[in-house]
Amino acid sequence: YTQASAIFKDKFTKDGSGALNKMLEERLDSLYADYLSGEKEYTEAKEELDTIKDFGITDLKKKVNSTGVKLNDLKTSKSAYEKAEKYYGKKNYALSIKEYDKVIKDDPNYQEAKIRRAQAVSNYRNTLLSEAASLVSNGDYNSAVKLLETSEDILGKDKLIKKRIAEYSKNKNSENRQQVLDASDEHAYNENYAAAITVIMTALKENEDLSTDETIMNNLDEYRKSYTEQFSEKIDGYINDGLFEE
Would you place residue 237 in the very low, low, confident or very high pLDDT band (cuts 50, 70, 90)? low
Quick one: DSSP state of residue 39?
A: S
Q: Count Cα neighbours of 154 within 13 Å in the Cβ-side half-sphere.
A: 24
Q: Is 194 left (phi over 0), alpha (psi -120 to 50) or beta?
A: alpha
Mean pLDDT value across residues 198-204: 91
Comparing C-alpha atoms, which of 18, 11, 24 is closest to residue 63? 24
The rounded distance, in Å, linking the Cα atoms of 210 and 246 is 41
User: For residues 74-99, b (16+ Cβ closer than 10 Å) or e, as one string?
Assistant: bbebbebbebbbebbeeebbbbbbbb
Mean of pLDDT values over 125-153: 92
**What is the distance, to the nearest Å, from the Cα of residue 98 to the centroid of all Cα atoms in its chain?**
9
Give me the pLDDT at residue 59, please.
85
Between 236 and 72, where is the model more confident? 72
Q: What is the pLDDT of residue 9?
A: 53
Nearest to 176 by CA among 150, 204, 197: 204
Confidence of residue 216 (pLDDT cuts 50, 70, 90): confident
pLDDT computed for residue 81 by the predictor: 97
**In the chain, pLDDT over 90 holds for what percent of residues?**
55
Mean pLDDT across the chain: 86
Q: Are 132 and 144 in contact (CB under 8 A)?
A: yes
pLDDT tens, residue by residue, 23-58: 888 899 898 999 999 999 999 999 999 988 888 888
- 76, 48 contact by CB (below 8 A): no
Query: What mean pLDDT is predicted for residues 215-229?
Result: 91
* Model confidence at 134: pLDDT above 80: yes
Instruction: State the Cα–Cα distance between residues 199 and 194, nearest whole angstrom.
Output: 9
What are the phi and psi torsion angles at 62 (to 5°)? -65, -40
What backbone torsions phi and psi does residue 50 show, to the nearest 5 degrees? -65, -35
pTM over 0.85: no
Q: CA-CA distance, 167 to 27, in Å (whole number)? A: 60
The pLDDT, as a whole number, for residue 14 is 43
First to last CA, the chain: 103
| Residue 39 half-sphere exposure toward CB, CA atoms < 13 A | 7
What pLDDT digit, counting tens, does each position of 64-111 carry? Answer: 999 999 999 999 999 999 999 999 999 999 999 999 999 999 999 999
pLDDT at 10: 52
Cβ atoms 158, 125 nearer than 8 A: yes
- Residue 62 — pLDDT band, cuts 50, 70, 90? very high
CB 124 within 8 A of CB 97: yes
Tell whether the model's pLDDT for residue 239 goes beyond 70: no
Residue from 207, 206, 210, 184 nearest 197 by CA: 184
